[in-house]
Structure formats: C-alpha cells, structure tokens
Amino acid sequence: MWNSVSKLILAVGSCLALVLSWGCMGTPVYRMWHRSQWMEDEQSQASLHARLEELESLRSRARGMSEAEQSKIAADLARALAGDPTPLYRAHVVRTLGELSVPAAAEALRTAVVDREPRVRVEACSAWGRRGTEEAVAVLADVLGKDTDLDVRIAAARELENCRTPSAIPALGIALDDSDPALQHRAIRSLKVVTGKDFGSSVPAWRQFVRTGEVQASEVPSLAERLRELF
C-alpha cells in the first residue's frame, strides 16, 4: 500500500513540476532572461563578423605596410592564434598571417600547422604554399609525414605544387608512399606541375622517378592507357 502511495505522490509531484516549469516560461522574468540570452548570442555573432571583417581589411592593406607595422600585427595575430577558441576566426588569422612577409609571421605559421583544428591546419598549408620557399617545402613535407588528418595532408600535397624547386619532389614522394589513393593522386598532379613530366597516373612510375630521376619505359603508361584514365 505504501508503495502505491509513494508512486502516486511521485507522479503528482512530477506533473506539478512540469506545470510550474511551463508556467514559469510564460512569466515576464523568463521572457526577459530568454531575450537577454538571444541578444547576447546576436552580439557574439556580430562581434565575430566584425573581427573577420577587420582581418579582411588587414589582408588588403598588408602589402603596403612597413616592416615595423607588419611585425606588430604579426605579434598580435600570433597571440590571437594561441588564445582564441573559435576555429573559424583562427583560420582567418592564419590567412592574414600568410599575407605578411616578416619573420614573426613565419614563426606563427609554423605554430599554425600543428593547431588542434584541421581547418586551421589546412589554411596554414595554403599560407605556406603561397610563400613557395625552401622553408615552405620543409614545413609542408613535415605535414605530409606527420599529420593524421587526410584533408590536411591533401592540402599540403596541393600546396607543394606552388613550390617550383627540386626539393619539392622528394617531399611529394612522401605522399606517393601513402596508402590513400586520393592523396597519391593529388601528389601526382603536383609532381606534373613541379617537374614538367607526365607519367600518367602510374604510382609506380612516379615513385621510380622520385627515387632515381628516371622511369623505365615499361612503367610509363601508353597513350591509350592515359586516354582511358580520362574516361
């Protein structure tokens, strides 16, 4: 009997709590709180939008800045990259750093390639690709060998296409040795641009070229085979 009474009391209590909660939602106090939260969210979104516009403005003016101005901005952006919790904002910070030519910007971009968010690391690869320097090749090769995200590694292979230097060839060879076909294909596309050679989509042929600088005729796809690759 007591069990039945207890269950009845519990059920009545639950219904009462539900009614009260719905009733509270219609009170002026609840409506004020809800409106306050909504306004706070709106302000947060507006704030992010304004900060992204500020970064876009910096990018448009970067080339005309003095070295001192670039160094100051790079230092500010490096702090934002380290402390801001928003991945989208950090990605735009990295894009802006890519437009700065001072050493402080390069230092921040070296940090960006190990950011916790893949989208930030992809943006960092793009920034290094626009540099196209020997340092860029070394950084992108490191990403190809160590990053665990496929999209990031594909971005690194893609950006090596912009590094028209012999050191980009062995760097792309790292991607050829990966088991993922998409990464291999992207590496081959970049190798065609960097080397001016065309061995079709034959991974073995490109591997041989990367290692020896030559390709045996038997490894080179025929014209008919290359045409089949297109369709």
- One DSSP character per residue, 74-103 reads HHHHHHHHHH---HHHHHHHHHHHTT--SH
What is the block-wise mean pLDDT of the chain (231 residues), using blocks of 10 residues? 48 45 48 47 66 94 94 96 95 97 97 97 98 96 96 98 94 94 97 94 94 74 49 48
* Cα 185 to Cα 207: distance, rounded to the nearest angstrom: 12
**pLDDT, position 227:** 46
Other beta carbons less than 10 A from residue 23's beta carbon = 10
**pLDDT, position 65:** 95
**pLDDT, position 219:** 53
**pLDDT, position 221:** 55
Burial of 77 (0-12, 13-18, 19+ CB in 10 A): buried
Residue pair 154/125 in contact (Cβ under 8 Å)? The answer is no
**pLDDT, position 132:** 93
